[in-house]
Amino acid sequence: MTQTRSARPWYRRMTGRRRDEPHRTATPLELFFDLCFVVAVAQAADSLHHALSEGHLDLAVGRYLMVFFAIWWAWMNFTWFASAYDTDDDVYRITTFVEIAGALILASGVPRAFTEGDFATITFGYVVMRLATIVQWVRAAAGDPDHRRAALRYAGGVFVVQVGWLLRLTLPDSWLAASFLVLALAEVLVPAVAERPGMTPWHPRHIVERYGLFTLIVLGEVVLVTSLAIQTGLDAGDRHLWSLAAAGTVIVFALWWLYFDRPAAVSNRLRHALFWGYGHYLIFASIGAVGAGLAVEVDHERDDSHVSGLTAGYAVAVPVAVYVVTLWALHVRRRQHRWLTAACLGTAALVLLVPLGPAPVHLVAVLLFCLVAVTVLARRLSTSPDATDPGPTASDGGGPVEAE
């Protein structure tokens, strides 16, 4: 008879889960983890909006990319670890709560990072999250001998990099950008090195679901901005804001459709898994920036910003173009549809040109609508899905792992 959770010990031996486990879905704790990260995503997008509206373009973009890296990287590491070692015992839950607390600390420091360039609070919150991750990896090393070397490499690598983040706070301001790039590179190299002895037993379909859920979270920020634009138009009696809100709605619908048009898949090969997992940084960050760009466009229409119409237009166009190109690289390219590839890259190029003309947000909405139509047509004309669209395969769900 299966033992109920109430009868389980307060801790369990942390062994790896099966890669071919059926019905592996997101747990309530994972969903709660995502919910708490909404705060950090909202703070980053809102701070980007205000910095862009005030005309601080260089600082806004640079600080947004740094802040969003911290949010994304902490979320991503928890997600892949939980996919492999979610024991759901009390120790695991408490450790996860510590990670959530670190995310809330990080979120509280986002406004100061944008306005004053002070990353101390963000760093402390980030280190709290990552130190909790070390505890998780040490437990995995003790409970899963088959992947002990990988778990210890993770624990050691994460610890060394966290020391680097704390030391970075003592550096002069002129070194902060360069030191961030070095430490961010060190962070992304940890999984690449740690997984070499033998990849940890993360679940491919579970990973795809988790990434889809985080995509929905960031899209929710764009929905919120669009809703506020509608409210602003209603309060001000400005009909143009109504049309702007409608265009923003089409944009967010199109972003959703393009991402979820077909089931995604992540390969068991290490190089491909890293490319797919890391590439989503641009997916998530660009969606959040689209929301901030729409808010800048609303400010410009109401004469509440310090930027030109061209700049406001590019605040939407640039992240949309980045999103389309990245989505092509991660999801579309392997389907080998040449004309769909041409449609994606051509749309991205045209999106970058529309701010030079009138009504850029409306034109971006039209271009994305056309791209969705082409995507749907490509799917319907695919008479041999196995040949033209690899999609999720049996090997993606639980086949042998290849560490390149």
pLDDT tens by residue, 62-77:
899 999 999 999 999 9
Model confidence at 233, in pLDDT bands (50, 70, 90)?
Answer: low
Distance from C-alpha of 173 to C-alpha of 159, rounded to nearest angstrom: 24
State in Å, rounded, how far the first CA of the chain is from the last one: 41
- What pLDDT digit, counting tens, does each position of 125-173 carry? 999 999 999 999 999 999 888 889 999 999 999 999 999 999 999 998 8
| Percent of the chain topping pLDDT 70 | 89
Q: Is the pLDDT at 340 greater than 90, yes or no?
A: no
For the record, the structure tokens of 78 come out as 């928890």
Of 315, 308, 321, which is closest to residue 352 (Cα–Cα)?
321
- What pLDDT digit, counting tens, does each position of 104-118 carry? 999 899 988 888 888
Domain extents in the chain: 25-194, 204-392
What's the mean pLDDT in 24-46? 89
For position 11, what pLDDT does the model report? 60
Can you give the pTM of this predicted structure?
0.88
The residue assigned the tokens 């879905």 is 25
Per residue, what are the HEC states of 198-210?
CCCCCCHHHHHHH
Q: Is the pLDDT at 1 greater than 50, yes or no?
A: no
Could you tell me which residues come within 8 angstroms of residue 7 by beta carbon, excluding any fewer than 6 positions away? none
Phi/psi region, residue 26 (left: phi>0; alpha: psi -120 to 50; beta: rest), is: beta
What's the mean pLDDT in 382-389? 51
What's the mean pLDDT in 44-58? 87
Backbone phi and psi for residue 144, each to the nearest 5 degrees, phi listed first? -130, 85
- What pLDDT digit, counting tens, does each position of 370-380 carry? 999 999 988 88
What's the mean pLDDT in 93-122? 91
Choose the weakest-confidence range: 10-19, 238-247, 342-351. 10-19
Q: Is the pLDDT at 16 greater than 70, yes or no?
A: yes
For position 227, what pLDDT does the model report? 81
CATH class of 204-392: mainly alpha
Choose the weakest-confidence range: 123-127, 238-242, 264-268, 339-343. 238-242
For the record, the structure tokens of 265 come out as 């898949």
